Amino acid sequence: MKNRIISGLLFTLTGVLVILIPTVLFPVCDSEMMKMSCYYTKRAEIGVGALIAVIGLVSLLISDKKIRIGLAISEFFNAALVLLLPLKLTGLCKMSDMSCRVKTEPALIVISIVIFIISAAEVLFLVKQVKKDGLS
């Protein structure tokens, strides 16, 4: 019970942080005339962050350990999306001194690593619990 609440809240919090990093905390470049790649990265990160937060809320409500293992695995892949969006998929501004490169990119890398760690720990913990309980 305690693990479900802690992991669910952590996933929800990290999902909200993924949304806030490119919009509020370390906003990407603001271009009114021309939308650059960092604009599209921001939009995609908002979607992935919302997905991470919703899965975190769902994991709060579900007590079945096997389903929660699946949710934690999905969070692992969502963390990969958070990481790959600015690095490979949509990218950021080409100039290395732009705010999206200096602030947003490192923050997204750090939060994706945090989500990787939380999801891996959750999977390992739940698999251990399933084996301990004798559920196959």
Nearest alpha-carbon partner for 42 in 89, 75, 9, 76: 89
Q: What tens-digit pLDDT sequence spans the chain (136 residues)? A: 788 999 999 999 999 999 999 999 999 987 666 788 999 999 999 999 999 999 999 999 999 999 999 999 999 999 999 999 999 999 998 888 888 899 999 999 999 999 999 999 999 999 999 999 885 5
- Which of 42, 11, 47, 9 lies closest to 25, judged by CA? 42
Q: 101 with 95: CB under 8 angstroms?
A: yes
Q: Is the pTM of this model over 0.85?
A: yes
Instruction: Find all residues with CB under 8 Å of 90, minimum gap 6, and list them.
Output: 37, 40, 41, 44
* Residue keyed to tokens 């997204």: 108
What pLDDT was estimated at residue 36?
A: 85
Three-state SS at 120:
helix
